[in-house]
Amino acid sequence: MNSYTHIKEALQLAEQAVYQGQMNLNGANFQNAQMHLNIVQQQINEQKESASGDKELRRMEEHLRHLREAQQAIQQNF
């Protein structure tokens, strides 16, 4: 079973950054959240090459999708 600790930690940082963006609408928070979301996406893409179809990886990808949707909602209100 693959360990995705680094992705889970990056997801947690991304979630915190998106939350900060929701609480304090400013450009720096928005850019910080975007950076964290992009890092998580890159890590997931790297893992997908070697672990295609892994349920845990799919759950993390779904979590990332929800964070991106929240980030888009913030952007619309920005």
CA distance linking residue 7 with residue 71, whole number of Å: 19
Q: Is residue 17 part of a domain?
A: no
Residue 55: phi and psi, rounded to 5, are -65, -40
Confidence class for position 70, pLDDT limits 50, 70, 90: very high
24, burial (CB in 10 Å: exposed 0-12, middle 13-18, buried 19+): exposed
Q: Is residue 57 part of a domain?
A: yes
Number of domains in the chain: 1
Q: Is residue 20 part of a domain?
A: no
9-52: per-residue pLDDT in tens?
Answer: 999 999 999 999 888 888 888 899 999 999 999 999 998 888 76
User: Residue 43: which domain range?
Assistant: 5-12+26-77
Q: Is residue 35 part of a domain?
A: yes
pTM (predicted TM-score) = 0.83
